[in-house]
Structure 1
Amino acid sequence: MIGILYFLALLSSTVARGHVGLWTEGNGRNGTNGGNGNKCTCDAFLPTSTFPIKDMVLVEQTAVEISNRLELEMGKLESYETKLTSYAERIVNLTVEIERMEKNPGSYNNAHTEDVKIEIKQVEALIVELQSSIQGSTTVFESLHEQIAAMVETLTRLEKTYDKNVVLATRREYIKVQLQLEECERRHQELFNPNIGSCAHTGIIKISKPIVSQLNAHLSTSYKFGGWGKDSKPIPDRESMYWYSAYSSAAIHDIRFYTNYKNLILRNHYQHHTLASGWRGTGNNFIVRDNTLYYQINNPFGMAKLNFTTMKYDQRVVTKASARFSYAYSSNQNFDFAADETGLWVIYATEESGGRMVIAKINEPSFGIEEEWQTSVYKPGVSNAFMVCGVFYAVRTIDIQGDEIFYKFDTKTKQESFISVPFERFQDNYYNLDYNPTDQKLYMYNDGYYVNYHLWFNHTAKAIEESPALST
């Protein structure tokens, strides 16, 4: 049945393109058709390449498989939640019992003490088992993201080559499993990463494989320059909002807003702002914070912001900043805006620093520079950079498929260090890479594709003691 539908779809589209010659007259040698020597023929020229139904079926089968695996993972999450509640109760009861023993050691005999020790060991064993299960779920998520990335590539290729309407039904299945995975990861994060917004860690220790959402809203790989992500300090009722802006060159012409991840995937924006000619920007290291776009302008050379609540525009010239030094992938990335748990930042290089990168803290109400820190990293050798908890991280390309975080600078201690935290790219080039403190993810605009990464931090006892949670 599916094969017949595809054949009919192809035949109808072929007719629409004029590839079927309808009834034509010809000279019959045998004098048929009433003896008048004419006959009617119908020539149908089908495409030289048939529709790749095997690819479509494979994508559909993959979508069903992912959906089934996600249902299993959602069931595990419910089990995890029950176990966590049970473990927490046992730990509380044990804590109370141990406190009693410490206050009145003479009231307990050796047998009772041994019972408590056994119960402690049982709880430890249960926690180790739970940790193993959690790691197993994380591995499953990574595997599912790889399968979805393959689906994205297949569907994008088919949409470019064949009728989009024919591919649409399968894309709906892809959207369904993508949303299931997003919800499953969200619940997993709520259960096992309650430290969103906290800086009780000593830094990034691992980055996930690239998580590919899909090709941009323009459905065009020519829109290589741009960015996407979430508001780093969302206003009320817009906590789930996503934004996207891109162009065929390093220019900022417009921006689209989506109420949630589902509408981003469906390309169903609820706001579309076109920047007035005098407000347009350049470069691709812009961000959205507090419903305000922060970005670079060239006339005059400086930084600008546009508040979408009030539609008020403002700009500032940073006299020290140089227009000569940019990131490795683009010649127009002089100002790099970043936001983290501690506030708003802008990163640039100066003539005075010889092209080495300078970190500057922005006072949000006045839109002025509060303080600066100079690093030892030469900006043209860096692919991109971002801030996390007041710590600057610089990224460089190491091979055809991979990058690494190779340097960090702590603005609190003014200490710098060289590190190595590798991660993969989905496509060759990227022009926007930013951390978002609301979900502790990295967002990358990778040659026209929406890509993001999960981060793992070094949550040590020392970090928890020395670094209390910071608020935005």
Structure 2
Amino acid sequence: MKSQLMPIWATAVFLTFFSESVSGKQCVCELKNVVPPFPMAQLDNIYTAASECNRSITPERMLEVDVLKLGLQRRLEQLEESVAVLEREDDGELYGAVSLRIIELELAEVLELMAKLNRTVHSHQQLSDATAAKLHRMVENMQELEDFDHMQVVKRQQENQRMRRDLDNCQHRLESTAQPPTPPPGHCPQGQLVNVTGPRTYSLTQYGTSYPYGAWGKDPKPAPGKENMYWLVALTSSNVFANYIRQYNSLSTIIVGVGPTDATISSSNPTTNTIQGPNVVMYGDALYYNCYNTPSVCRFNMTARTVTNVALPLSSGYNNKFPFGYLDATYVYTDMDFATDESGVWVIYTSPENFGNVIISEVLPGSPPVLGRTWQTSLHKRTVTNTFMVCGVLYATRFLNKETEEIFYSFDTETSNEHYGLRIHIKKMQTNIQSLNYNPQDRMLYMYSDAYILSYDAIFQ
């Protein structure tokens, strides 16, 4: 009889059996489940609560505050414009009365929007608190239900889900970031900038970690015979100044650090024509940089070894007055940032008259260089870690964490449209970015980061 009962015992893990013989001929087994029944009603309640959360927390609802903020900003701009018109043209009679009535109506709309924004924020806070409490109860209930999972099926499924999530996150960081929710402006023949991948190059310079501030890259408009050359400027004095440029014949030689050719701008550091700050660029066989101790653009001709310059507006920031930064940190002496793109050279800076917000100016090539058109933006320079230009569009980055930098802002110089909603992530290998520039020839971003040189592919739609 034992040989017949063992298979039943082996398959009934949660069952016990009792055997007895009837008339000496039959074996009767009574199987009894010692485990309480699975509480399906409790599981259904958890499923219902999760469904209610999905219905109450939608992407559209989460965007309500952003939409109201944008509307409020537009109304405030209209109100400011109406007040300015009244100040300029008030005749004290009929025109002034009409203008005051318009301002009164616009102010009422602003107050109504502010009240609606406050109600929405309060509603979202209540929803957040209620949802947090509900999620806490759901977690506790699920933990109770796991006690019924004697075969540990749920635990293994959870482990698989965690592994899948980690793999997806890793793939996301290595390959791409989500396309910006609002397509950036611009009129590039290759399309919109939608992603940055890499790094493709990641290496210390031949200086090692001695000089964390600097810049590197390729000339987008090289002189004949210099098409494959790379340049490097390391701030070798106090992380502020440099007086020479290194050039390498290829990418491999700059990575290995062999065979550089030096071009000296000045005999010592710091002195007249010394490079000040890390945000320098090479264009048309000339280096563009912030002249030492002046709010001026310097242009060093690599062939003639001569320096010419053009002054920015008198009050423009220099000598660490308006540097890039994040939180409570700044990148010293980054008052002026230079950028190259398909059209040439740009300088990005600011002044007290623009309240510390970014200003963009064209730098027209020549000896001396000349400032061209200028645009004022609403982007405060201290909230930005770096900028670069692509097809006449300024892109700005900000610090997210030690591993990620985010391209969050764009300004189109053709339309003067600004966008703050970009979410293009750059995977960092070091914490800080001292310089960042785009090369339209190979469509790559060149980064100098805590003494390391890196390059990234710019991906266009």
Q: TM-score, normalised by structure 2?
A: 0.55
Map Cα deviations across residues 256-313 of structure 1 (whole Å, 9 max, x no partner): 1011112222312341123314221211100111111111123333111110111111
Q: Which residue of 2 aligns with 1:191?
A: none
Counterpart CA distance in 1 for 2:255 and 2:404 is 26
Q: 1:305 aligns with which of 289, 299, 309?
A: 299
Q: Which residue of 1 aligns with 2:142?
A: none
Aligned length: 264
Are 2:456 and 1:450 aligned?
Answer: no
Q: How does 1:37-436 map to 2 (within 5 A)?
A: 199-218=188-207, 220-248=208-236, 249-276=239-266, 277=268, 278-319=272-313, 320-323=315-318, 324-328=321-325, 329-365=330-366, 366-418=368-420, 419-436=422-439
1:375 alignment partner, SS class: strand
Shift of 1:326: 1.1
Whose radius of gyration is greater, 1 or 2? 2
Counterpart CA distance in 2 for 1:346 and 1:211 is 27
AA matched with 1:327:
F
Long gaps (5+) in structure 1? 1-141, 147-197, 459-472
Counterpart CA distance in 2 for 1:303 and 1:229 is 19
Map Cα deviations across residues 95-153 of structure 1 (whole Å, 9 max, x no partner): xxxxxxxxxxxxxxxxxxxxxxxxxxxxxxxxxxxxxxxxxxxxxxx99x98xxxxxxx
Counterpart CA distance in 2 for 1:428 and 1:402 is 8
Counterpart CA distance in 2 for 1:401 and 1:308 is 36
1:314 alignment partner, SS class: strand
Asked if the contact 2:288–2:338 (Cα under 8 Å) also holds between the matched residues in 1, the reply is yes
The alignment's C-alpha RMSD in Å is 2.0
2:355 alignment partner, SS class: coil
Map Cα deviations across residues 186-237 of structure 1 (whole Å, 9 max, x no partner): xxxxxxxxxxxx922442111103233311121x212101111111211111
Map Cα deviations across residues 321-342 of structure 1 (whole Å, 9 max, x no partner): 2222110141201111111001
Counterpart CA distance in 1 for 2:309 and 2:339 is 17
1:372 alignment partner, SS class: strand
Asked if the contact 1:212–1:449 (Cα under 8 Å) also holds between the matched residues in 2, the reply is no
Asked if the contact 1:256–1:269 (Cα under 8 Å) also holds between the matched residues in 2, the reply is no
Q: Which residue of 1 aligns with 2:61?
A: none
Counterpart CA distance in 2 for 1:391 and 1:337 is 14
Counterpart CA distance in 1 for 2:235 and 2:323 is 19
Map Cα deviations across residues 168-187 of structure 1 (whole Å, 9 max, x no partner): xxxxxxxxxxxxxxxxxxxx
1:352 alignment partner, SS class: helix
Q: TM-score, normalised by structure 1?
A: 0.54
Counterpart CA distance in 2 for 1:448 and 1:416 is 32
Q: Which residue of 2 aligns with 1:14?
A: none
Counterpart CA distance in 2 for 1:310 and 1:222 is 30
Asked if the contact 2:201–2:456 (Cα under 8 Å) also holds between the matched residues in 1, the reply is no
Using the aligned pairs only, state the percent identity: 33
Long gaps (5+) in structure 2? 1-169, 175-186
AA matched with 2:333:
N
Counterpart CA distance in 2 for 1:318 and 1:392 is 19
Asked if the contact 2:331–2:434 (Cα under 8 Å) also holds between the matched residues in 1, the reply is yes
Counterpart CA distance in 1 for 2:305 and 2:445 is 28
Map Cα deviations across residues 55-96 of structure 1 (whole Å, 9 max, x no partner): xxxxxxxxxxxxxxxxxxxxxxxxxxxxxxxxxxxxxxxxxx
AA matched with 1:359:
I
